[in-house]
Structure 1
């Protein structure tokens, strides 16, 4: 913009005709400073009456330059006003954007930890790039609702302060590794169901927080949405297989869970082990998103149990990555 900035130059001497331009809003008209009596109008080009004594050379110079001065002042004022307005507009745009972010409640920003609210400090999340020409899972062109991105890149990363689980480091895991989270009596049956369900991949990540809370996330990708939905039905608490996890012989729907943060076209189910629980409390949830099913598990030993807030936060963020 500096190329457009021009320093106002002094006007060349020209016959000063009656000014036709209106002064800029808020500016003081030149006539207001030295009003001319209405009875004796004097034009800018009118010669000085002969009856008056001739002006000295110094006085004549003052009179000659006093005529264009108001016009020059108005030009300077207009130039300053234009550039000031431009700066204010540009500054307003930047300020508006900043205010749009800073005015948001911290509770409106998933993943942003607020002191004392119990949430974990997750890193900034972003969706992975898709192969050329491949749509998102719920795009109109993607009727099968398939995740074309590498499902490993759709795993939620560990929050700040977490100790990573070396066995669940975000790579591929076996079917036997996945079914090991369920009670031993159900593992063979679940393994067979997965074998019959055209399972493509399983990836997982785990970590432990300083307070002892253990988190594990598994993503199961099937050949179609129908297989993912069918397996979700198989592990539901309403079937013979059930969804009982190790350390959690009895689970109930999490009554405190709401659909907040859920992505459109996906489904989230949250469960919590109610009191009295054993040596640890287990919370778990499923996120069904097209051809992919996520299992999120959190547990912590001791009477304090597993905190509700970080569990819900983790479900919401994993849901958003799959959407």
Structure 2
């Protein structure tokens, strides 16, 4: 067999340390061992639940870390003097805003009071345009005599108050007062013997007497005229047959008054600043039946001299007054826009009959006529 060449043996490095076994045999001292290289830090293992490394840190680690200077708040960097100045500025700003809010609140309250306290018609820009209505004083019912009841709505109770106090007062536009009248204590019903009281019955002469003609005795006296100018002053008694001078057929109207026995009569007249002349006449009878019979005849069979051809006017859209029956009439003569120059109203309230006549060559305003009729009905209801 051919001998195989022996493998070359490694030549020992003289600088390399001898094996421990050789050192131990030779008895040479062992050289000092070199320090071991630091081990590389192991990467933190991720928890199985999927939490981030920050969440896996212990609580103590987060508390121990301090925020960097770039994340610090301005307050933490201010000095005590600067913090005090900043608080002072905030307080001043709060005071200024509070004062501004208070000023706006006071201004708004003052403006609201300035608009709501006075009458709307006294505020510029809010006043309602005049539509022809008048300015009357507050309506006041007169006191009743002791033991007497107010008239009911069925006509079974009569009017026991002084008939002159049931007349509508003159408006401000006719020189009247806007102050409510003050009534004296009621006295006994006027007797027929008094010269200032109405007669128990109209004159029975076949022709109209002097009182039926438009003389001083038939028309309101000087005291009545002054009463009309005073507005709320007491009206005067007039004879019942004074109304005959206003009728187209006085003889027929006289028979009506004799049949139903008119007990008392009074009248008030005025002329407003718009030129409208108004006359309100009240007649009292002994019962509601007599009053109704006179009312029915006057409105249908006794044409007025001021408008003998007057036609009945509808008033279904008017506010009705319970206990008062109303019939309206307009003359065929009209002014601008077809406004009648004469308007009549007949009212029946238990034992009292009212005749309202309003005339104006320029046309009687509808609003004024409606106002007068409604207010007079309120006093008689």
TM range (shorter): 0.5 to 0.7
User: Would the aligned equivalents of 1:261 and 1:320 in 2 still touch at CA under 8 Å?
Assistant: no
Please say if 1:157 is aligned against 2:222: no
Which residue of 1 is the match for residue 69 of structure 2?
none
State the SS of the aligned residue for 2:341.
Answer: strand
The answer as to whether partners of 1:236 and 1:243 remain within 8 angstroms in 2 is yes
Q: 1:139 to 1:190 in 2, by over 3 A?
A: closer
1:283-298 matches, within 5 Å, as 283-298=343-358
The size of the alignment, in residue pairs, is: 204
The answer (yes or no) to whether the contact 1:206–1:215 under 8 Å persists in 2 is yes
Write out per-residue CA displacement over residues 20-48 of structure 1, whole angstroms, 9 at most, x where no aligned residue. Answer: xxxxxxxxxxxxxxxxxxxxxxxxxxxxx
| Structure-2 separation of matches of 1:276 and 1:124 | 32
Aligned to 1:320: 378
Equivalent in the alignment of 2:132: 118
Instruction: Name the TM-score, length of structure 2 as normaliser.
Output: 0.49
Contact 1:155–1:205, Cα closer than 8 Å, also in 2: yes
Matched, 1:197 2:263: no
Contact 1:252–1:272, Cα closer than 8 Å, also in 2: yes
Given candidates 271, 274, 277, the residue that maps to 1:211 is 274
Deviation at 1:179, TM superposition (A): 1.3
Question: Normalising by structure 1, what TM-score?
Answer: 0.57
Kindly report which structure 2 residues correspond to 1:1-323, keeping only aligned pairs within 5 A, or say none: 115-138=129-152, 144-162=156-174, 166=222, 169=227, 170-183=235-248, 186-237=249-300, 242-255=301-314, 257-258=315-316, 260-275=318-333, 281-301=341-361, 304-323=362-381
2:288·2:350 contact (CA, 8 Å) conserved in 1? yes
**Residue 243 of structure 1, CA deviation:** 3.2
Q: Is contact 1:175–1:191 with CA below 8 Å preserved after alignment?
A: no
- 2 CA distance for matches of 1:118 and 1:199? 35
CA distance in 2, matches of 1:287, 1:281: 20
Runs of 4+ displaced beyond 3 Å: 163-169, 258-261
Alpha-carbon shift at residue 135 of structure 1 (Å): 1.2
Q: Which runs of 5+ in 1 are unaligned?
A: 1-98, 107-112
Q: Give the drift of 1:132.
A: 1.9
Larger Rg: 2
SS in 2 for 1:236: helix
Offset at residue 254 of structure 1 (A): 1.7
Query: Does the C-alpha gap of structure 1 residues 305 and 287 become closer, same or farther in structure 2, counting only changes over 3 Å?
Result: same
Aligned-CA RMSD value:
2.8
What SS is found at the alignment partner of 2:133?
Answer: coil
Tell me if the contact between 1:282 and 1:299 (Cα under 8 Å) persists in the aligned partners: yes
CA contact (8 A) 2:240 2:283 kept: no
User: For residues 218 and 226 of structure 1, do their structure 2 counterparts lie closer, same or farther at Cα, with a shift above 3 Å needed?
Assistant: same
Q: Does structure 1 retain, via aligned residues, the 8 Å contact 2:240–2:262?
A: no
